Every structure is written in C-alpha cells, then in structure tokens.
Structure 1
Amino acid sequence: MNASMLLAVPSNNPGGLAAQVSGHFGHCDLFTLINIQEGKVASVDTVANLEHGAGGCVAPVNLLQDKGVGAIVVGGLGARPMQAFAAAGITVYYADQAALSKVEAAVSGMLAGKFPQMRPEQTCKGDGNCHH
C-alpha cells in the first residue's frame, strides 16, 4: 500500500471507523473513505452506495473511481466488479471477513500490510455460496 491514498471500506450505516464492515460489497449501505497520508489516517468520510440493479456491482466501482479511491479492502467480490476495479486502477485487497468486524480493523490491517492483493481466482462465482 502507498503511504498516501484514499482507501474505501464497504460499510454498514452510519459508516466511519467504528462502523461494521459490510459483508457484501455491492449491497453495502455506504463506503467509508479513509484518506491516508504518510501512513496515517488524515481524514474519514462516507459516500452512499448506489442502487444495486442487474449487473449493478460495477456502478459502485465507477462511484469510487470518481471519488479518487486508490484501494479497497473486501472480504469477497464477484468477477465483474473485480475486472471493473482493475480497469479503474483501484487495487483490491482481501481480508478474511472473520477478522474484519469494524472499519478501524480494516484500516489497521491495511496500514500494517496484513492484507494481500486479491487474485481473480478468489472471486465469487455467483453460486450463492459466497458472502461478499
């Protein structure tokens, strides 16, 4: 992770560092956006997720790209948004959902370099057995 970047974490309302991490990227209430400068949290903001229609997991990717997000940490993700993140230049990091309860844990893990970049073969296959 870069020393300075805008990190997104899919979150449940009301968002912020104390919020629960959402278990489903495309259906999260909102995204907590953490501005990291020199390896420290400089500011925290939120942005509401978009309505999730058919193929709607790409719309939030475009929203995050428009906000200047450079990375996102997720516990799972489908293949289409994974491809969209790659095209948008947003790095996707994987964190086991059992280890991620609060947004602040996601931020701490990112700052400590604990989360690997997610690989395409880790994406959900749309069979209903994936919780993202």
Structure 2
Amino acid sequence: MSSSLFLAVPSNTPGGLEAEISEHFGHCDLFTLINIQEGKVTKVDTVANVEHGAGGCMEPVLLLKDQGVQAIIVGGMGARPMQALAEVNIDVYFAEKKSLKKVQEAVDGIVQGNFPVMRAEQTCKGAGTCHH
C-alpha cells in the first residue's frame, strides 16, 4: 500500500469504522470513506449511495469517482462495475464474502496488505447465484 490511500467500503447504516460491511456494492446503504496516511486512519466519513436506477451499478461508480476514492474493498461485484471502476482509476480489492464483518476489519486488512486486487474471473456472471 502507498503511504496514502482514500478507501471506500460498502457499508450498512450508520456507516463508520464499527459499521457492518454490506455484501452488495451497488445496493449498499452507504459507503464509509476512510483516509489512510502512513498506515493510520486520519479521517472517516460517509456518503449515501445513490439510487440503483437506469445506470445500475454505474451510478455508485460515478459517486465514488466524484468523491476522489482511490480504492474499494468488495466481496464480489459484476464485471461491468468492475470495469467502470478500473476506467476511473479506482482499485478494487477482493475480500472473501463473510470473511469481514466490520469496516475496521477491512481497514486493518488493507493496511496489512491482506487483500489481492480483484480479478475478472472473480466477478459475478449474472446467473442470479452471486449475491454481491
């Protein structure tokens, strides 16, 4: 990890470091936004997710881009939002579903370098069997 990172974690209300991580990127209640400098949290904020409307998962991608996010940790997502995040230079890190419960665990893991960059073969294929 670089010396500075602006991280987003899909979260359930109310957000923050003690919030539960949402399992669905596009339908999460909000994103907890964490500034990390030299391995330490310097600021925590939240931003409400946008309506999952006609743009589908593209709307949250644009929201995160507009916030200046550099990376996100997910347990899964579709190929289209993953590609869109790459196009706006947001790194996607993968954490096995159910391996993390709270946002703080995601922050600790990213600081320790525990999460790999998500690969295309890890995306959901739209068969209805992938809850992301």
- Count matched residues: 132
**Aligned twin of 1:73:** 73
Partner AA of 2:26 in structure 1 = G
What is the Cα deviation at residue 3 of structure 1? 1.8
**Aligned twin of 1:117:** 117
TM-score (norm. length: structure 2): 0.97
Report matched runs for 1:1-132 at 5 Å: 1-132=1-132
Partner AA of 2:121 in structure 1 = E
Q: Distance in 2 between matches of 1:9 and 1:16?
A: 9
Identity of aligned residues (%): 68
Partner AA of 2:9 in structure 1 = V
Deviations 1:2-54 (A, max 9, x none): 22011000000000000000010000000000001112100100000000024
Structure 2: unaligned runs, 5 residues or longer: none
Deviations 1:72-101 (A, max 9, x none): 000001011000001000000000122110
Q: Distance in 2 between matches of 1:75 and 1:88?
A: 20
Partner AA of 1:28 in structure 2 = C
What is the Cα deviation at residue 55 of structure 1? 3.9
Q: CA RMSD in A?
A: 0.8
